[in-house]
Amino acid sequence: MSVRYQRKQYWNEPTMNWWEKAYLPEVLRGLFITTGVFLRNMGKWVTGRRGAVTTYYPEERRPDFAPRNRGKHVLTQRPDGSVQCIACNMCATVCPAKVIEIEPGFDANDPAHPKYPVRFEIDYSRCVFCGMCVEACPEDAIRMAPDVPNLVSDDRYNMWLTMDEMMTWRPQADVAKPYPPKPTLPVLPLVRDARGAHGVAGGVPSKH
In the complex, the residues that contact another protein under the rule CB under 8 A are 86-90, 93, 98, 101, 103-106, 108, 111, 114-115, 119, 121, 123, 138-139, 160, 185, 188-191
Sequence-separated (6 or more) residues with CB below 8 Å from residue 44: 50, 51
Closest CB to another protein among 86 and 132?
86
- Give the nearest distance from C-beta 208 to another protein in angstroms: 18
- Give the nearest distance from C-beta 198 to another protein in angstroms: 14
The one-letter amino acid at 121? E
Cα 165 from Cα 151, distance rounded (Å):
11
- From the list 84, 72, 78, the residue with the least C-alpha distance to 172 is 78
Cα 124 from Cα 73, distance rounded (Å):
10
Cα 43 from Cα 59, distance rounded (Å):
24
- Give the nearest distance from C-beta 161 to another protein in angstroms: 10
Closest CB to another protein among 41 and 89?
89
- Give the nearest distance from C-beta 155 to another protein in angstroms: 13
Closest CB to another protein among 32 and 106?
106
- Give the nearest distance from C-beta 167 to another protein in angstroms: 17
Closest CB to another protein among 55 and 93?
93
Is residue 114 reached through a cis peptide bond, with omega within 30 degrees of 0 on the bond before it?
no
Closest CB to another protein among 24 and 188?
188
Q: Are 42 and 135 in contact (CB under 8 A)?
A: no
